Each structure stands twice: as structure tokens, then as C-alpha cells.
Amino acid sequence: MFKFAIISVAAAALSGPALAGPILNLQITVDGSKSTTLQEGQLTPFNDYSYAGSVGDGYPVTSWIVGWDIASDFASRSFVTNGFTIANLGSATKRFNILLDIPNAPPSGAGTQSWQFFGNLGGTLTSNSASSSTLSSIGTNPLWQGLRGGTSPGTNSQLMSYFTFSSPGSVSSLIPEATVTPYTVAGPLGASLGYQFQFDLSARSTVSFSGIWGANLVVPAPSALALCGISGLIIKRRRRLN
């Protein structure tokens, strides 16, 4: 039933109106059991794309649910929001690995490219019982990392390493926001944008994440390119005179 639930969600997402939205590839692994969901983006009045849905381990007993409601835009300023809610309904801690990837090819004719990355992550941890809830990163892995072309473009894109956060029983607590220090990396760096969550969530707990991950495309200004060309000609002329 677990596989049927995942496939039915993916099929429903792809059978809707074709609005030419990029296809979201969402891989969810819970305690070593992996599933994949594909979903077409829906164009919004803000001229970006939205993705929403949820999956779980299904009938007869649901022990976990992962829901998402995210927005994305892919232009010279590309971004994907961190809108995920994950519920552990079981009686033991569960390990989650959530990998999101959306095609984002660099604009053609952009010349030598560099990307200036930015982002942040926050959220809420809720205990659904009288016992406290705990959210923690796994080993040396960051709880969240931004990706470009399926890989991390730098350690600055990794947030909440060696992280543990707790909320008292039957209480919702705000997770302190962590921010990516903006940094620039040269090169096209692949043709997709995404991120990865890796964490342990205690029993009967719900965590909701918010925030954003994105990059601004940086290309040399026309005047700068012209100056480079002029300086090159001057250097060549001096060499000839010498």
C-alpha cells in the first residue's frame, strides 16, 4: 500500500493541466525506505510556480506524513522556498532524508556565469503528546543544505550542523532562524536547483520548515567586457612596439 500511495500521488500531479511548469523531483527516505514523487509546477498570478501535496506510509496505519507547499522561480534570480511539514505519528524516533530537485537551466547567451547564493531556514517544532519533542541533525551532516546541480556549492549553504532542538510536551516552539551568508561561486554549476533535509524526529512530533534558497545570476556588465577587450588590444599593441 505504501508504494501504491506514492505512485497515485505522482500520477495525479502529472495528470493535471499542462502549464509547462518545471517538474519537481522529490525523494523521501524514512528509516531507509525510499520513495519518489514527480510533480508539475503550477503557474501562479505572481509569474512563479507552486507545488503542493503530501505523502505518507498509508493504510492501514499511518506512521508518518510529509507535506509540502512551496514556490519557485527560475530566471536571473532563482529560488525555491522551504515549505515542508513532517509528522512522525509513530511511537519511536524516525530518520528522514528529503531531497528536492527542480530543473533550472542557466539562461542562454549569459556569457561567463557566476551565482550569488542566499537563503535561510526556520520553522516550528510541535509536541503532539505530553512528552517533549526533539529535532536533531544526523552525525556530521547538516540538517539542511542548499544544492545547485545536485551538489552543495559550498559549506556556506549548509545550515544547522550539530543541531538539536526540543519543545515541551503539548507545546509548539519556534526554531531559531539560520541564515546563509551570501557568497558567489563562478561557473554554471549544473542545471537544477534544490535542497536536502536530513534529521531525526522524535515520536508524536511535527516539524514545519519555512525559508528560502536561491541564487542571483551574475554576468559581466557590457561596459566591463568592453574594457577587457580594449585593455587586451593595448597590451598586444605594446608588445608589437617592443
What's the pLDDT tens digit per position in 49-61?
Answer: 999 999 999 878 9
How far apart CA 146 and CA 163 sit, in angstroms, is 17
pTM score, whole prediction: 0.83
Strand-pairing partners, residue 84, are 68, 209
Query: Contact at 8 Å (CB) between 94 and 77?
Result: no
How far apart CA 59 and CA 1 sit, in angstroms, is 6
List pLDDT tens digits, range 27-44.
Answer: 999 999 999 999 999 999
- Classify each residue of 11-48 as buried b or exposed e, where b means 16 or more C-beta atoms within 10 Å of its C-beta: eebeeeeeeebbebbbebebeeeebebebbbbeeeeeb
Of 78, 1, 68, nearest to 38 by C-alpha is: 68
Average predicted confidence (pLDDT) for the chain: 85
